[in-house]
Amino acid sequence: MIPISLVVTLEIIKIFQSIFIVWDSEMFSTDDNAGCHVSSTTINEELGQVKYIFSDKTGTLTQNIMEFKALAIDGNMYGTIGDQLRRKASRIEQKLEIEYSFRSTKLDNLLRNEKSTEGEQTIITSKSGQTQIKLKGHRDKAIESIKLLSICHECMPEIVEVEGETLLFYQGPSPDESTLVDFAQKQGYEFCEVSEATCSVRYSEESGVTEKESEIISYSIHKRMEFSSDRKRMGIFFTDPFDGKYKIYIKGADSEIK
């Protein structure tokens, strides 16, 4: 039998251990301007048993950096895939004066031109035939694609302070996921809040979906289909507040999305 007082004492000790881990200067990353983040206090004592860490050289060679170079929608390429492009930096990196070189005047002009009729119309009809979604051209398809990147993911927004300025960045299950959400943010589709039943996106005037300087739109989420190695894709079933229709966005491997 273990006395209750001992259990309470151990929990308090673990909390203080976590504080010391966060304060540890040797675990501070100057590249990310962030220290260690303790998510759980249940395995503190197991850290002392770690003797070896095995890793392949992928992270050493690539530094786990994902570069967003180009976007292809309905046969149209926005951006270029040349080696001269660097990764599109997050807001934190911009604050630290790290430049990013992704540029697509073609995409910017397309999103801002509400009267654009370029491209063929695509009509998506429900199985019952009672509901239709009309994508009039390249602009509508680009907006739907970037909306997908902003809400169909497993990232979580985090707020950090950098040189006295509050910045939003994303933590995701993989660098790929965070990079796609970060790209959507740069285009004016800023994923800012999520709960079990809702997802909120802050749209700027550059996004092409609002005439206001900034507007937060909430989506009602009915079902999330998480990514798995068997399905190789994920999806989200929601109500689109722009037209009131039920939609499913799906994102995944090329071999599965046809």
Mean pLDDT in residue range 98-127: 80
Lowest-pLDDT range of 56-65, 190-199, 217-226 = 56-65
What is the tens place of the pLDDT at every residue in 79-89? Answer: 877 655 454 55
Contact 59, 42 (CB under 8 A): no
- Summarize the confidence of residues 135-164 as an average pLDDT: 88
pLDDT: which is higher, 174 or 143: 143
Cβ contact 140:114 at 8 Å: no
- Residues with catalytic function: 56
Q: Using CA atoms, how far apart are residues 55 and 63, in angstroms rounded to an integer?
A: 13
Contact 181/150 with Cβ under 8 angstroms?
yes
* Average pLDDT over every residue of 36-46: 82
Interval 150-157 mean pLDDT: 91
Cα-based torsion angle of the residue sequence 228, 229, 230, 235 in order, rounded to the nearest 10 degrees: 30
Q: Which residues contact 204 (CB under 8 A, 6 or more apart)?
A: 188, 190, 210, 213, 214
160 or 156, higher pLDDT: 156
**Tens of pLDDT, residues 190-221:** 999 888 899 999 999 888 888 888 899 999 99
How much is the pLDDT for 96?
Answer: 43
Residue 91 has pLDDT above 60, yes or no: no
At 43-52, the pLDDT tens digits run: 887 887 888 8
pLDDT at 141 over 50: yes
User: What is the sign of the dihedral through the CA atoms of 82, 86, 91 and 94?
Assistant: negative
**The two structure tokens encoding residue 66:** 């994902």
pLDDT of residue 98: 43
The pLDDT confidence band at residue 90, using thresholds 50, 70 and 90, is low
pLDDT attached to residue 236: 94
* pLDDT class of 250 with cuts at 50, 70, 90: very high
